[in-house]
Chains A and B, each alone.
Chain A
């Protein structure tokens, strides 16, 4: 075990046992925890998926083409995010800002879709109080939307920082952290799209 000792530290301030960025590590621990948060909401949705005693039921109201479009938008925003990070790491500030803005803009568009969807559902008679489908659906997608909204605020803040203080390549970790959070939100949506939309929007088989 002697051979893995770290004798050549840069400073005496603190050790870095694993040689990883502390904040990135913190973000990953948090994301692991957030898996349980969304997991419990998704579990509740699945447990109650056949329990609503009044309509509207999922197959009467979920709209696959519209949600496919918003899924595409969120996936594309993840692509813009990694391109922005890559540009920040290269020091190509103007490209980085463009892609960062694109990410935040696509995220905002996704939120617009969600607001439209919620209004549409309410108009069709589905509110969180209507039945268990409404309660579980709005709670799950609502908390996902809140995560997206927080991410959009974070991204716009970073854009502002890049204009005021600048984000040189050695500070690109600030962008990478926001990126990890953003991709996580995207990944959760992949699960929601699969489980809530594709798999439970079918009419009961004949």
Chain B
């Protein structure tokens, strides 16, 4: 999320401009291409989990904060959405720990 802060510095409007939307789209595409590229680099294999989860989180954040306007919208919307997200993630991690699936 912090990587995208500069996008919104010059605008105080409710929603980002079309130009910013396109910029976010380009960033999302570039990340996806990089992910697929990394996938074929055997040397990075031990770092795959960290790289892919990190890249996925960045893409997730760009879509949520810019396309879904969470950055500019009421904080309660973020609370409900990220509340659900954190709860779901915690439950999944707890279940994997309990059932020894890591």
User: SS class of chain B's interface: helix, strand, loop or mixed?
Assistant: helix
Residues in B whose Cβ lies below 8 Å from that of A195 = 56
> Inter-chain contact count A-B, CB under 8 Å?
142
- What is the CA–CA distance of A53 and B83 in the complex, to the nearest angstrom? 36
What size tier do the contact residues of chain A reach? 35 or more
The answer to whether B96 touches A46 (Cβ under 8 A) is: yes
Query: Which of B24, B35, B80, B84: most chain A CB closer than 10 A?
Result: B84
Q: Which of the candidate stretches A71-79, A122-130, A134-142, A143-151 sits at the interface with the other chain?
A: A71-79
Q: Mark B49-88, 1 if CB is under 8 A from A, else 0.
A: 1001101100110011011100001101100110111011
Complex contacts, A205 vs chain B, CB 8 Å: 45
A31 within 8 A of B: yes
Q: Tell me which of A43, A79, A193 contacts B56 (CB under 8 A).
A: A193
**Which of B15, B67, B87, B101 has a CB less than 8 Å from the CB of A36?**
B87
Interface of A is mostly: helix
| Contact A190-B59, Cβ < 8 Å, known A36-B87, A68-B36 | yes
The answer to whether the Cβ of A15 comes within 8 Å of any Cβ in the partner chain is no
Given A28-B80, A89-B15, CB of A190 within 8 Å of CB of B63: yes
Q: Are A64 and B39 in contact (CB under 8 A)?
A: yes
The answer to whether the Cβ of A174 comes within 8 Å of any Cβ in the partner chain is no
| A residues at B contact (CB < 8 Å) | 18-20, 24-25, 28-29, 31-36, 38-40, 42-43, 46-50, 64-65, 68, 71-72, 75-76, 78-79, 81-83, 85-86, 89, 179-180, 183-184, 186-187, 190-191, 193-195, 198-199, 202, 205
Interface residues of B (CB under 8 A from A): 15-18, 21-22, 24-25, 28-29, 32, 35-36, 39, 45, 48-49, 52-53, 55-56, 59-60, 63-64, 66-68, 73-74, 76-77, 80-81, 83-85, 87-89, 91-92, 95-96, 99, 101
